[in-house]
């Protein structure tokens, strides 16, 4: 007697776009025009799938096989999405490169991934040529978002060709999508390197598929077919938080800003496309609010803003919710988590920047002491945060030792608390702690208090060498607009909220805070310029 069974249905990412093409064929993917007065590019999901399959055919003609790595160096555009699905759909691995990094760093990453082809935005072609000079494994550079039928030799022997011209010449035989196991690699992204050397995180189809299902839950991103989702978070940063998978999975309109993320461009895009959900790091929304305050422009369609990647300044959260009437959802995650870890539900009765959110099914949290031993009390106590789940890294690219322990717990490097309701509160980075007189100072607590001041746009605290105490805290701020504030007034809110010896000895004002490629404050640069450069 044969036992009953269910169908084998591998969880591969191509199924999201195939579903959208069949059931939401005319829902648009929109890319902002490259100039302020340029019209947006738009394409329905059915036509998008056809083009993505053509990219797969072109890559197959170029001898790309399942498991091969294909790099992209591009902004958030339709052509980049076509490259994504064209690469992943055929079983190859999409290695997204961050164009805000140096050619030397990018070449090292490409050398490690062994990508032979780089798909590059037209305006980033000079950078791609520099990368090819230092990474001889690159044999072909395919240029997107250009009308020119560009052909020629590139640096390092890499041929340069226009992808659009090649597609017009014919893609050849169609390539079957999803003809590989769900455990196959789909994407590769390197960590930002703000706290150490960048490390490669390789995603599988299964891990990103499950991450997408988790993100779509009602207590997470809650995206539906009625939404228009603006993905300002870059596609080269942790899969744009999974939005190019999540939007077509439910038939939502996906809106991409191209390479322009200034306040004026985003406001225009939100108004024109009736964006309901916007996603990006806090610094992006600071620029948007400054523009709206200056012009008096309204964006009534916007209902929710999802932020992550860096701490949310309390003053900015208040400006967004009061000025726009939109709900701000704070979140926390990492490249190693695909990247979503926790998020505040959209209907949460209490929203505060200190709360990162709660984990949804598929993500588990554990607090330990410095030695890795679980804290006996997991609620209300501060500990070292570890996570595990089907979308959490097990091993970094090219490393022999696993990144997680035998029980699957991955150390995030964050210090955190979990309140009685299960909300995660990130209290600092273990590497950011300042040791003064043998005692620890947590910069994150100071930064949260200073960032709440209406005069302050961004704040960071780093350690400076001190002959007696070892290190002393040093406050660095970027003030908002033309605001002025003296040192005593700036530091006064710390009194009574932190220990007196935690109060920074010095204050420095910067006209522009250095930001890492992902939009976070670049503490490595601040330490190099003003403090102590910590070793990895």
- Is residue 421 among the annotated active site residues? no
Q: Tokens at residue 37, please?
A: 């007065």
Q: Give CA–CA dist 68/432, Å, rounded.
A: 38
Q: Which long-range contacts (CB under 8 A, 24 or more apart) does 150-156 make?
A: 154/128, 154/129, 155/129, 155/130, 156/132
Q: Is residue 231 a contact partner of residue 243, using CB atoms and an 8 Å limit?
A: yes
Say how far apart CA 264 and CA 273 lie, in whole Å.
14
Distance, in Å, from the CA atom of 315 to the CA atom of 20, rounded to the nearest integer, reads 39
Cα angle at 390 between 375 and 222, to 5 degrees?
95
DSSP assignment of 334-367 equals -GGGSSEEEE--TT-S---TT--BBPPTT-EEEE
Catalytic residue among 148, 435, 501, 506: 435
Please say if 382 is a catalytic residue. Answer: no
The dihedrals phi and psi of 280, each to the nearest 5 degrees, come to 175, 180
Which residue out of 169, 440, 501, 506 is catalytically annotated?
Answer: 440
**Distance in angstroms (rounded) separating the CA atoms of residues 418 and 455:** 30
Whole-number Å distance between alpha carbons of 345 and 19: 27
Question: Are the C-beta atoms of 405 and 372 separated by less than 8 Å?
Answer: yes
DSSP code for 502:
G
Answer yes or no: 164 catalytic. Answer: no
Catalytic member of 77, 191, 335, 518:
191
**What stretch of H or E contains 477?**
strand 470-479
Supply angle C-alpha 489, 493, 494, rounded to 5: 115
| 8-to-182, 214, 245, 496 alpha-carbon distances in Å | 11, 21, 21, 61
Torsional sign, CA 5, 6, 9, 10: negative
- Provide the strand spans (E) within 75-179: 93-96, 117-121, 140-144, 151-153, 159-162
The neighbour count for residue 152, using CB atoms within 10 Å, is: 8
Catalytic residue among 336, 445, 447, 471: 336
Gap between the Cα atoms of 435 and 473, Å rounded? 9
Q: Is 98 helix (H, G, I), strand (E, B) or coil?
A: coil
* Complete edge-to-edge strand list for the sheet that includes strand 41-44: 41-44, 28-31, 253-256, 228-231, 277-280, 304-307, 327-333, 340-343
**Whether 525 is catalytic:** no
The pairing of strands 159-162 and 424-429 is unpaired
Distance of CA 151 to the CA centre of its chain: 33
CA distance readout (Å), 454 to 314, 480, 485, 505: 9, 8, 10, 22
| Residues annotated catalytic, as ranges | 191, 336, 435, 440
């Amino acid at each position: 007697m044969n036992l009953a069974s269910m169908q084998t249905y591998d969880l591969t990412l191509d199924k999201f776009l195939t579903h959208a093409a069949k059931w939401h064929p005319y829902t648009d993917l929109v890319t902002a025009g490259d100039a302020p007065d340029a019209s947006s590019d738009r394409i329905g999901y059915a036509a998008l799938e056809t083009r993505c399959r053509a990219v797969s055919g072109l890559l197959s003609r170029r001898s790309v096989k399942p498991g091969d790595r294909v790099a992209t160096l591009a902004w958030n555009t339709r052509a980049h999405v076509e490259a994504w699905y064209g690469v992943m759909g055929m079983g190859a691995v999409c290695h997204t490169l961050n164009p805000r990094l140096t050619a030397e760093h990018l070449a090292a990453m490409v050398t490690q991934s062994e990508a032979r082809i780089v798909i590059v935005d037209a305006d980033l072609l000079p950078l791609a040529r520099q990368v090819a000079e230092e990474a001889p494994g690159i044999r072909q550079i395919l240029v997107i978002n250009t009308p020119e039928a560009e052909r020629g030799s590139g640096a390092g022997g890499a041929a340069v060709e226009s992808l659009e011209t090649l597609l017009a010449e014919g893609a050849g035989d169609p390539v079957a999508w999803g003809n590989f196991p769900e455990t196959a690699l789909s994407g590769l992204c390197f960590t930002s390197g703000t706290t150490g050397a960048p490390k490669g995180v390789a995603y599988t189809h299964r891990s990103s598929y499950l991450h997408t299902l988790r993100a779509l839950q009602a207590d997470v991103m809650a995206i539906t077919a009625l939404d228009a989702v603006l993905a300002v978070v870059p596609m080269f940063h942790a899969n744009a938080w999974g939005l190019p998978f999540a939007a077509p999975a439910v038939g939502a309109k996906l809106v991409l800003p191209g390479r322009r993320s200034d306040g004026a461009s985003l406001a225009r895009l939100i108004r024109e496309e009736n964006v309901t959900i916007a996603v990006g790091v806090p610094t992006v929304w600071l620029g948007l609010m400054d523009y709206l305050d200056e012009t008096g422009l309204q964006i009534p369609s916007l209902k929710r803003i999802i932020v992550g990647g860096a701490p949310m300044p309390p003053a900015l959260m208040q400006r967004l919710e009061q000025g726009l009437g939109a709900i701000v959802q704070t979140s926390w995650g990492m490249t190693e988590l695909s990247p979503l870890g926790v998020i505040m539900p959209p209907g949460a009765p209490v929203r505060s920047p200190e709360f990162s959110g709660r984990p949804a099914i598929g993500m588990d949290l554990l607090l330990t002491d410095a030695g890795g031993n679980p804290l006996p009390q997991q609620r209300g106590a501060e500990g070292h945060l570890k996570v595990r789940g089907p979308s959490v890294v097990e091993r970094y690219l090219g490393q022999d030792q696993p990144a997680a322990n035998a029980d699957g717990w991955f150390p995030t490097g964050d210090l955190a608390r979990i309140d009685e309701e299960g909300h995660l509160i990130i209290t600092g980075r273990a590497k950011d702690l300042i040791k003064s007189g043998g005692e620890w100072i947590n910069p994150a607590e100071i930064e949260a208090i200073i960032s709440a001041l209406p005069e302050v746009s961004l704040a960071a605290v780093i350690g400076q060498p001190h002959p007696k105490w070892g290190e002393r805290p040093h406050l660095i701020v970027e003030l908002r607009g033309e605001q002025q504030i003296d040192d005593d007034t700036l530091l006064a809110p710390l009194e009574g909220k932190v220990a007196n010896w935690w109060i920074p000895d010095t204050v420095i004002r910067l006209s522009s805070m250095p930001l890492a490629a992902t939009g976070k404050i670049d503490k490595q640069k601040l330490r190099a310029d003003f403090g102590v450069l910590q070793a990895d």
